[in-house]
């Protein structure tokens, strides 16, 4: 993650929550009051975002003392203390919710990624994220996927080429009862010559899949295929085009991921990792004051 970008994200989050002033803290907490607080996991999780949690408080008061007892990627049990901090009560109370929001959300993504990986660990498939992220938080969410053991797909449109259905429809390559694979083959060849990046193409059925194989992309995305369709695609790829990698996406969850992984696809991409992972229950509790 780019440090400057993270600082900007934290600053925007603090401005959103505090606004002009935390009026509750202003009228209840003396400016001289100092407190000590501990960060506690209320459930089991894979920790992610502990340094971002720290940076939230440092942005409010550089003199706050912070001691992390766990690091990102740690497997944490319910009730474990993750960190201890000490400093002005006003700064700690102002930053509490923003810091916890980051930590709970990112730990949720890391934990969910880890859980999916555990389900398919006996297979060689790699788990990828997608671009289905909260606007403005993509760099943090994709970092959480990595902490959980997954891999990042594209960071954005600028760093990877995936020719999807709407591209094919817009170009007239795909239409009702037609698929111009010669035009697609020429397009892929020109892209590789111009950009020098791997090219991935999305297909929606086995007929399209076989046409696209002839076009020699680096990766083919099998979108919303059934497990049996995936099996047939893998067998065809293995026999005729072993150099092409296969990615599966769409309609995959914890109940059926093994059905796809067992057919030896190369990648499974899951939007659920970033758009639907439940936040983890973590709390900050004051344990002393002076």
Distance CA 236, CA 171 (A): 27
Helix (H) or strand (E) holding 178: strand 178-179
The residue with tokens 């940076």 is 55
Name the active-site residue from 72, 112, 129, 202: 202
> Is residue 164 annotated as part of the catalytic site, yes or no?
yes
Name the active-site residue from 38, 97, 126, 183: 97
Nearest Cα to 109, choosing from 76, 145, 154, 138? 145
> Is residue 204 annotated as part of the catalytic site, yes or no?
no
> Is residue 17 annotated as part of the catalytic site, yes or no?
no
> Is residue 132 annotated as part of the catalytic site, yes or no?
yes
Name the active-site residue from 36, 119, 132, 216: 132
The residue with tokens 């930053």 is 95
Task: Check if the beta carbon of residue 142 is closer than 8 Å to that of residue 152.
Answer: yes
For the beta carbon of residue 151, count every other beta carbon within 10 angstroms.
14
> Is residue 223 annotated as part of the catalytic site, yes or no?
yes
Helix (H, G, I), strand (E, B) or coil at 29: coil
Q: Which residues pair with 220 in a beta bridge?
A: 201, 246
Helix (H, G, I), strand (E, B) or coil at 246: strand
For the beta carbon of residue 119, count every other beta carbon within 10 angstroms.
14
Please provide the size of the chain in residues.
Answer: 290
Name the active-site residue from 223, 237, 247, 280: 223
Name the active-site residue from 58, 115, 164, 262: 164
Question: Which residues carry out catalysis?
Answer: 97, 132, 164, 202, 223
């Amino acid at each position: 993650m780019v440090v400057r970008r993270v600082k900007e994200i934290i600053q925007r989050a603090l401005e959103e929550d505090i606004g002009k002033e935390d009026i509750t803290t202003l009228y209840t907490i003396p400016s001289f009051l100092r407190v000590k607080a501990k960060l506690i996991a209320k459930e089991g999780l894979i920790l992610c975002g502990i340094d971002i949690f720290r940076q939230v408080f440092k942005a409010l008061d550089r003199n706050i003392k912070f001691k992390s007892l766990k690091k990102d990627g740690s497997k944490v049990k319910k009730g474990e203390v993750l960190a201890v901090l000490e400093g002005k009560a006003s700064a700690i109370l102002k930053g509490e919710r923003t810091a916890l929001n980051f930590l709970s959300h990112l730990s949720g993504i890391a934990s969910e990624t880890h859980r999916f990986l555990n389900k398919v660990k006996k297979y060689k498939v790699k788990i990828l994220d997608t671009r289905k992220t909260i606007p403005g938080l993509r760099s943090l969410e994709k970092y959480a996927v990595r902490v959980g053991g997954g891999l990042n797909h594209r960071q954005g449109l600028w760093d990877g080429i995936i020719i999807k259905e709407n591209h094919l429809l817009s170009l007239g390559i795909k239409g009702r009862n037609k698929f111009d694979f010669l035009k697609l083959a020429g397009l892929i060849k020109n892209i590789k010559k111009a950009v020098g990046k791997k090219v991935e193409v999305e297909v929606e059925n086995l007929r399209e899949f076989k046409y696209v194989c002839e076009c020699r992309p680096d990766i083919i995305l099998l979108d919303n295929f059934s497990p049996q369709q995936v099996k047939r695609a893998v067998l065809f790829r293995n026999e005729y085009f072993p150099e092409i990698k296969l990615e599966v996406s769409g309609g995959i969850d914890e109940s059926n991921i093994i059905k796809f992984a067992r057919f030896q696809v190369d990648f499974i991409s899951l939007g659920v990792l970033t758009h639907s992972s439940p936040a983890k229950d973590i709390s900050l509790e004051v344990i002393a004051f002076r």
